[in-house]
Chains A and B, each alone.
Chain A
Amino acid sequence: MDECSLYDTVIVTRSRSPHHAGVVNEPTSRAQGVNPLCGDRVRLSVRAGHDGIEDLRHETRGCAICIAATDLMAEVVTGRTRTDALELGQRFTDMLESQSPPGEVADDADMPEVLRAFLPLKTHRSRLRCATLPWTALGEALNHD
């Protein structure tokens, strides 16, 4: 079978055994992202303090891409300031939505390596939203806490 580079080991592993599933204690905000086209649903609970995001957990119902994207997002934004996290989300979305092919994406030295696993989505554009949905939900959570 052609497994397709989209289903990178980290994506398959994280989708099967997410590290950040659940609900945080004493959340400062919650948000939900839904993709009505496919029924994917991401529920986030966030605890943020003066120094930024202290903990983020998720309850995700969706495909492997969506679950892995949410879990890896939780991993890379924990410890970041709100501004930094939102800016990373924008760069991640820009990376996937830019028209340049996966091999020619402008090098973003600050892009966490695990997020680069989603680059093959550029050739599966109907699935882009699966990876950006948690970041949309994060924006909701951080802008309304």
Chain B
Amino acid sequence: MIFTAKVVIKLRESILDPQGKTVENSLKSIGFSAILETRIGKYIELKIDAENEEDARILIENACVKLLANPVMENYSYSLEKSEKELV
């Protein structure tokens, strides 16, 4: 089965995100005063060939821990869905 994983990688909460802060200040300066906080992260989309959902999850976890995220400074989360059509 082909799955699509949408991985989001964010700086850990305890780490200052100067890019997010700069964007946040800009948003406030143009009138978006209701935006309380802005954090910027990374979005990675993966197409995965796996027997079942559990295998796909194990694979993503491994990929995130090993390469996609650095646990010293980042957290990751992801959603997983079956691709609508099989890739050729």
Q: Do A and B come from one complex?
A: no
Taking beta carbons and an 8 Å cutoff, which residues of A are in contact with B?
Answer: none
